[in-house]
Structure 1
Amino acid sequence: MSNDWKTLRSELPEDVRLRLDGKREARRLGKALAELRKAMNATQREVAARAAMTQNTVSKIESADDVLLSSIVRYMHSIGGGVELVLKTSDGKAKRVDFDPEINVKQYG
């Protein structure tokens, strides 16, 4: 199936491909995490220390297209935020899953 998408995408006009790429970039999870971190006036190094990660790991999370949920939870809890996942079925039902901030966060005191 991914080959079908690549073929279809290659047949699109360049301006459409660029617009799609721009929209994908704007929706990227890592970019959103970095924006939240900056809004909280936290550095990558501070997030790393609070989340028991390396600064390099935080940088990779912020530039990745695919991130482990556990890493997102640790990251968000390190800046005082939280994570709520919404699971949606094809018939329109939704189930919310909230991740407790006490899980997977290194406590400092």
Structure 2
Amino acid sequence: MAMNVLQSPSRPGLGKVSGFFWRNPGLGLFLLLLGPLMWFGIVYFGSLLTLLWQGFYTFDDFTMSVTPELTLANIRALFNPANYDIILRTLTMAVAVTIA
């Protein structure tokens, strides 16, 4: 008596890729999140770094314009005693919102 054996069809290229991601589920998740995380990193952190960089520029009072001469005057002016209360209230609110 002859027995018929079903052979699985050969897997085309797409089936091999699907099998690869089935065996490595973490890699599939990584590739799904890679694009949005790169976008987040470029847009969000790039904007923050640009803002920080422009904080070192100089403001010319005579011409009322910003000049790209790098100085620490703006950073020093931030820590004047008049601004300590503002910094303290801002940090207190940030901590309160984070905890709540």
* TM tier relative to shorter chain: 0.3 to 0.5
Please state which structure has a larger fraction of its residues in strand.
Answer: 1
Q: TM-score, normalised by structure 1?
A: 0.32
Bigger radius of gyration: 2
Q: TM-score, normalised by structure 2?
A: 0.34
**Which has the bigger relative contact order, CA under 8 A and spacing at least 6?**
1
